[in-house]
C-alpha cells in the first residue's frame, strides 16, 4: 500500500499525546492530526487533508461522494464512536472504503450519563442548587426515582445498559423496540409497548435509537403532547430524534416538566432558545465520553485501521459495509 498516513480528526486529542496513538506509530504509520477552523472539519477541509491517507480515526466530519472521489488512497474510516450518520455509506462502499465503528466501546458510559440526567431531573438537582445559591433554605418535594416508571425508546446495547441501571432503582420499565432481545426483556421484567403508549405512561423517557430518516423528529409536537406534564425527556442518542422547536414550546409552556439533552439538531450548539429555560439540563455531546471509554473506542478504531492495512477484515461487529472490501 503506497499511502502510509492515518488522519486523526478527533478534537480532544489534537493538542495532546494520547497513549493509544503510539500503536499506530509503532506499526510504522505516520499520524497526521487536523481540526477545522470551526472545530469539526468541513467537507473542503477533509478533502485537503486526505492525500496519502489510507485511514482516518474519524470524528463527526462529513464523508461524502465528493470526498471519496477526491481520495483514491482512502481505504478505511474508523469512527471514534458508534454513529456514522456523517458518512455516505453507499458512496464509501462504491469506492471500496470500509466504514467501521467502535461498537461496544462506550455503551455503559452513555447509560451512566443518561441515568445521571434522569436522576438530576427527577430529584431537581439544579433547582436545589439555584435555591441555596439564591439565599433560600427550604424543602421542595419532588417525585422519587425509586419505583418511578422509565420509558426506554430503543433497547439495543445502550438501552439494555440503561434498563439494568433502572432495575437497581426498582423502576417499572417500559420499552419500545422493533427487534427486541426477548430473553433480556423477560430477565429484566420489561414491558414492551408501542411508542405512543410508552410516552403516555412514563415518568422519564430516554431515547436510545438510531438517527435514521424514519426516526427524524420521532419526538414531535404531537408526541410531546402525549407525555404527562410531570414527565421528563432525556436524549443522549442523536439530536434529530427530537423536534427542538416543538420541545422548546412544550418546556416553556410547562406542558412538560423538563428535559436533559446531550445532543442537538445542529452541533455545536452555540445559541438556542433552550438556553433561557430553567427546566433543561444541556451538555455538549459528551455522554459517551469518559476516561475508560475514550481509550476503548480509540483502540477499537485503531484495531480496524491496522486490520485493513494488513489486508485483513476488521471485526465484523463494527464493520458497517463489508461489501466495501469486495469492491476493492
Name the phi and psi angles at 32, rounded to 5.
-115, 125
d(CA 229, CA 232): 8
Q: Which three cell numbers stand for residue 29?
A: 504509520
- Does the annotation count 108 as an active-site position? no
Residue 64 C-alpha cell reads as 461524502
* 165: annotated active-site residue: no
Q: Which residue is catalytic, options 43, 249, 265, 267?
A: 267
Report the candidate in 261, 265, 292, 288 with the shortest Cα–Cα distance to residue 277: 261
107 has catalytic annotation: no
Distance CA 210, CA 239 (A): 10
Contact 135, 191 (CB under 8 A): no
> Whats the size of the chain, residue-wise?
328
DSSP H helices in the chain: 22-26, 43-49, 65-69, 89-94, 107-123, 125-133, 157-168, 182-188, 195-201, 221-224, 244-252, 291-309, 323-327
Distances (CA, A) of 65 to 47, 62, 91, 126, 309: 11, 10, 5, 45, 23
Of 244, 285, 294, 309, the active-site residue reads: 285
* Structural contact between residues 47 and 71, judged by C-beta atoms closer than 8 angstroms: yes
Among 95, 208, 238, 309, the one annotated catalytic? 238
Give me the active site residues, please: 238, 267, 285
Amino acid at each position: 500500500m503506497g499511502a502510509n498516513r492515518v488522519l486523526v480528526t478527533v478534537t480532544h486529542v489534537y493538542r495532546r499525546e494520547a497513549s493509544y496513538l503510539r500503536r499506530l506509530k509503532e506499526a510504522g504509520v505516520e499520524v497526521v492530526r487536523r481540526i477545522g477552523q470551526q472545530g469539526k472539519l468541513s467537507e473542503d477541509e477533509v478533502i485537503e487533508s486526505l492525500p496519502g491517507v489510507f485511514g482516518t480515526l474519524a470524528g463527526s466530519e462529513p464523508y461524502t461522494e465528493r470526498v471519496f472521489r477526491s481520495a483514491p488512497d482512502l481505504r478505511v474510516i474508523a469512527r471514534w464512536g458508534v454513529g456514522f450518520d456523517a458518512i455516505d455509506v453507499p458512496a464509501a462502499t462504491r469506492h471500496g472504503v470500509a466504514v467501521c465503528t467502535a461498537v461496544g466501546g462506550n455503551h455503559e458510559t452513555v447509560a451512566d450519563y443518561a441515568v445521571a440526567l434522569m436522576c438530576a431531573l427527577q430529584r431537581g438537582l439544579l433547582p436545589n442548587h439555584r435555591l441555596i445559591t439564591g439565599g433560600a433554605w427550604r424543602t421542595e418535594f419532588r417525585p422519587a426515582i425509586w419505583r418511578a416508571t422509565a420509558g426506554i425508546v430503543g433497547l439495543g446495547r445502550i438501552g439494555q445498559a440503561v434498563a439494568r441501571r433502572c432495575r437497581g432503582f426498582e423502576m417499572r420499565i417500559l420499552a419500545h423496540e422493533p427487534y427486541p432481545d426477548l430473553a433480556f426483556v423477560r430477565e429484566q421484567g420489561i414491558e414492551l409497548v408501542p411508542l405512543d403508549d410508552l410516552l403516555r405512561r412514563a415518568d422519564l423517557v430516554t431515547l436510545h435509537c438510531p438517527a435514521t430518516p424514519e426516526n427524524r423528529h420521532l419526538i414531535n409536537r404531537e408526541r410531546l403532547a402525549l407525555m404527562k406534564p410531570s414527565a421528563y425527556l432525556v436524549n443522549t442518542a442523536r439530536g434529530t430524534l427530537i423536534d427542538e422547536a416543538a420541545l422548546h414550546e412544550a418546556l416553556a409552556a410547562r406542558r412538560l416538566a423538563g428535559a436533559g439533552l446531550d445532543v442537538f439538531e445542529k452541533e455545536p450548539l452555540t445559541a438556542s432558545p433552550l438556553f433561557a429555560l430553567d427546566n433543561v439540563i444541556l451538555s455538549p455531546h459528551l455522554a459517551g465520553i469518559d476516561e475508560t471509554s475514550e481509550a476503548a473506542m480509540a483502540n477499537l478504531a485503531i484495531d480496524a485501521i491496522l486490520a485493513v492495512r494488513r489486508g485483513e477484515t476488521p471485526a465484523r461487529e463494527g464493520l458497517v459495509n463489508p461489501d466495501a472490501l469486495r469492491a476493492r
